[in-house]
Amino acid sequence: MSRPVHKPERKRLFYFWKITWGVLLVLLLLVGGAVTWGYTQLMSGLPQVVGDHNVVGIEAEVNIYRDQNGVPHIEAENEEDLYYAQGFVTAQDRMFQMDMSRRQASGMLSEVVGKDALDSDRYFRTFGLRRAAEASVNAYDQEALTALDAYTAGVNEYITHALSENELPVEFRLLGYEPEPWTALDSLTIGKFMAYDLGGNWQGQAFRHWLVNNVSEEEALDLMPTYPDDGPVILDMAKDTTIDMAEVFADVGNYQPEPFNGSNNWVISGEHTASGAPLLADDPHLGLDTPSVWYETHLQSPSVNVTGVIFAGVPGIILGHNEEIAWGVTNVGPDVQELYIERRHPEDPHQFLYEDEWYEAEVTEEFIEVDGYDEPFLHETVITRHGPLISEYAHEEGVIIDEALALKWTAHEPSTELQAIMNINRADDWESFTTALEHFHAPAQNFVYADTNGNIGYRANGKIPIRPHDDAFLPVPGWTGEHDWQGYIPWDELPTIINPDSGMISTANNQIDDEDYDYHLSHTWAQPYRHQRILEMLEAGNDFTVEDMQAMQMDTQNLQAEEFVPILTKAVAEEELRDIDKEVLDVLGDWNKVDEKEEAGPFIFHLWMNAIPHVLFSSDIPESILDIFEGEANVVDQLLRDAAQGNEGPWIEKNGGLATVATESLQIAADYAKDLQGESPENWLWGDYHRATFAHPLGAMAPLNLLFNPRPQPVDGSSITVMAASFDNQTGDMIHGAGWRGVMDLSDLSQSYHIVAPGQSGHVMGDHYHDQLLDWVEGEYHTTNMAEYQTDSDHLRLVPEQ
């Protein structure tokens, strides 16, 4: 029998539950309100894609159709309105990315990120990308400047509208700032950043300078990319300087371009295709982030009809096709930079010696605003006759050293790449295409070409310096005048091919083989495996189709493993092997040498290859210097080849010989793999380590990573497969590869085939934020149609305000 509840107790229970439910209701309302507010904040930045939008700055109505993949098709009645609309649309999808890009390149991140970005800002202010962009403005013709101004006006229309309607992307709200108006200089600075990202060789000169002054002559020569004709003379030139390269470049590794920056492209004539018309494929390799560095767009006016991809923040189409031609690029990687050792006046830090006379260097002073600090940071850059002093970056402001390093770089000079892009977009044959390339100076690129008349071609295009000594191995004296550049390779003498007998042209940042070529291009090239594999596939096939080109871009055959697994497994000292080492070798022996995510073989092989440089160099070369070891992979490959043929070099010898190096590195790899994936090598998976992450800039901060970053995806490939997928050696996260893949069939240029990873949109709540990520992993291309796109597309009209 239950105890009766008396009235006072019943009353207390009534009030208890009333208060409890009241508190719960308030909490639910607060949580619900917070969720609603957060959802509203996330959704408010999404672009208007349907209806009418009245704008000031265009002459006639512009129609913008966004297809099912988020690709904007822009129809305008004149070019000025076309580029205005391109600026507006790109900003709708990518404004935060555009703002971060201009800030990074200009050295203005600290203003919104805080002190953590100050070193980056100092570095890029010193490097001078924005100064180089300013120097280029007057080199452009009026047509290009008009297009640039129109694009700028379109971006600013978006900014003005977003501010007035409180519809900025959520990243601006999280960081607590608003974007400044866009300028034409911002677009040109982003262009200079891409030249920076693809145009380095000064790091290799600095690395070899350190070697000359810190290891034996034999050891230094062993790590040269090629043996200098006058080895000892070359080495003597770099000795007896006061510059400490390890100190100068202690932090530069955080900001320098990825060593893997490269690409694949190829073009085949109609004699090798099923359609009888050329096929062209291109997949440039850059950093893999959210959003993609590439933005796909279709531009149409009475004078231009072109589609493809461009960097967000720059007008036109840099890679793609129009109605008559198609083109793609890879990086040439020539020696376009030079480090000069400058001698400073003992009493005046801004004077330097040149041909027995002292001259006054240019000095720029800039204030860097730093979020959270009342006073800006005063940054000084000293610019000699050869370029800015980059060694000053490593020292505290005001610290003066007797000798310094100045950087000369082709992209510091005025250049007109945007003008080239505009002209390429309208080109209709080989002559007009190559004429347009006269304006494309930096970075130097391998262009492949095809047209609807059946022609195919190739050109290594850009400004490449002529050196008096043709070496570019080491920093050179800047005070004698003997090492000043003697102009550039004449434009009409740059490597060029048109309609070769083979009917095939391919590049993958490989060495340009021409023994009769009169000019020096580079000492350092990509490892040959991607290009070898492309040639294998092209030479083994015929009657190629678009689908064949796509399959080639996704190919993961590992030719490096085919070469080195036999060498290394034969070299290991069997008596020193542990049980797990033997299991690892058994797995490698059964592996088909394809870098597939379901396999253990690539996991073991790549960890093994990554451990070899550690065994060879870690005890003798500081980490900051290894960070600037240009061409390390090729050099290490050659050391192993030579050792396997009985010619052990000093680095192999000093580490116990090939057997010891192979065994120690195998055991390091096995132990690391065991720590990551357990005791059983047969159960290890490449894909559990090698994952596509596509990180967002704000995704580095928990818990924002849960909002902005996609779920990591296991992925095939590696840095040396045609499907390029370079990764961080510690985490395995894929950080570099083909953010865009494109295939063009010249039998029908009304359509082409693309993947833009992870998607077109920069808005986390957008339908196209990560919608191509899985397609990218699996190689599922979408079709972009230049003729039939209006049906089932979102339609926005830009209407001139009366």
| Spatial CB neighbours of 3, under 8 Å, sequence gap ≥ 6 | none
Which of 194, 188, 192, 166 has its CA nearest to residue 178? 166
Q: Which of 187, 263, 269, 726 is catalytic?
A: 263
Q: Note whether 559 and 529 are within 8 A (CB).
A: yes
Q: What angle do CA 150, 151, 155 make, to 5 degrees?
A: 115
Which helix (H) or strand (E) segment is 207 a member of?
helix 202-214
| Spatial CB neighbours of 250, under 8 Å, sequence gap ≥ 6 | 394, 624
Q: Is 743 helix (H, G, I), strand (E, B) or coil?
A: strand
Helices (H) and strands (E) in the chain, counts: 26, 29
Which of 85, 189, 47 has its CA nearest to residue 762? 47
Which of 748, 751, 742 has its CA nearest to residue 452? 748
3-state DSSP of 486-515: CCECCHHHCCEEECCCCCEEEECCCCCCCC
**What is the torsional sign of CA 514, 516, 519, 524?**
positive
| Spatial CB neighbours of 766, under 8 Å, sequence gap ≥ 6 | 46, 47, 70, 93, 759
Q: Which amino acid is at 644?
A: A
Q: Which amino acid is at 582?
A: K
Q: What's the rounded Cα separation, in Å, for the pair 588 and 554?
A: 22
Q: What angle in degrees, to the nearest 10, is found between the helix axes of 601-617 and 559-571?
A: 60
Which of 689, 744, 734, 692 has its CA nearest to residue 713? 692
Q: What's the rounded Cα separation, in Å, for the pair 710 and 688?
A: 16
Q: What's the rounded Cα separation, in Å, for the pair 318 and 302?
A: 19
The tokens for 359 are 């001259």
Which helix (H) or strand (E) segment is 87 a member of?
helix 79-106
Q: What's the rounded Cα separation, in Å, for the pair 578 and 755?
A: 45
DSSP secondary structure of 412-429: GS---HHHHHHHHHH--S
Tell me: cis bond preceding 490? Omega within 30 of 0 counts. Answer: no
Which of 60, 65, 115, 509 has its CA nearest to residue 285? 509
Which of 509, 510, 505, 512 has its CA nearest to residue 457? 505
Taking residue 114's Cβ as centre, other Cβ atoms within 10 Å add up to 14
Which residues make beta-bridge pairs with 363? 382
Displacement of CA 450 from its chain's centroid (Å): 25
Ligand-binding annotation for 141, yes or no, is no
**Beta strand spans in 385-501 (E):** 387-388, 403-409, 445-451, 456-461, 476-477, 496-498
Q: What's the rounded Cα separation, in Å, for the pair 203 and 630?
A: 6
Active site residue 719: no
Q: Which residues does the annotation mark as catalytic?
A: 263
Residue set of the binding site? 335
Residue set of the binding site for Ca(2+)? 335
